[in-house]
Amino acid sequence: MSDHAPKPPQKPGEDPVREHVFDGIAEYDRRLPNWWLITLYASIAFAIVYWMATQHFGRTTDAERVTATMQEIRAAKLAAAGDYTDATLAEMSHNATVVAAGEAIYKANCVACHGANLQGGIGFNLADSTWVHGGKPTEVLKTVNEGVIAKGMISWNPVLGPKKTAEVVAFVLSKQAAP
């Protein structure tokens, strides 16, 4: 004996029914509606395009976003410290956010005398290892803050403020070779 029930007879003009019957329920043998198939295929195509766009094409990873955010937080903490030591200024010179801010300030205020590449001109060369007024980070900060009136460098602290002068010093120190 067979476990399958016999196929019910089909009348002319009725929709075809599949051969299998479960618990007395027969299933029509029809195609899926076109709108349903179009929706299915469009959602699959969208998923593939979305996945490619978010995972492979120029998207920053979570680790890169966390690193950038942590650098911004460190930069804010360092700038808020106010009491700049050699260690603080050295750490600032390794923070990309602080260095970028210092570079922008340098280009706006210091390029005329010290050159675009810190090579000097009217002002001293800042790219070499020779420092006329002291090469320690706090000495460089003091020089920028107080200026060298005898050589024509104004005091930048009243103009820029302590945070921006520290950022400029961090930029200059970032261009120096590590001791």
Count the Cβ atoms, other than its own, within 10 Å of residue 21.
Answer: 15
CA distance 37 to 51: 21
CATH number at residue 89: 1.10.760.10
Nearest to 3 by CA among 27, 20, 25, 28: 20
130 and 159 assigned to the same domain = yes
Q: List beta partners, residue 148.
A: 153
DSSP three-state, residue 2: coil
CA distance 114 to 126: 7
42 and 103 assigned to the same domain = no
133 phi/psi in degrees, rounded to 5: -110, 25
Q: Which amino acid is at 177?
A: A
Per-residue pLDDT of the chain (179 residues; tens, 9 = 90+): 456 656 556 666 677 777 888 888 888 778 889 999 999 999 999 999 998 888 877 677 788 889 888 888 877 776 666 677 888 888 888 888 888 988 998 888 888 888 888 887 787 778 777 778 777 888 888 888 888 888 788 888 888 888 888 888 888 888 876 54
104 and 127 assigned to the same domain = yes
CA distance 140 to 31: 80
68 and 144 assigned to the same domain = yes
pTM: 0.56
Q: Are 138 and 84 in contact (CB under 8 A)?
A: yes
111 and 157 assigned to the same domain = yes
| Strand stretches in the chain, DSSP E | 17-22, 25-28
Parent domain of 34: 17-55
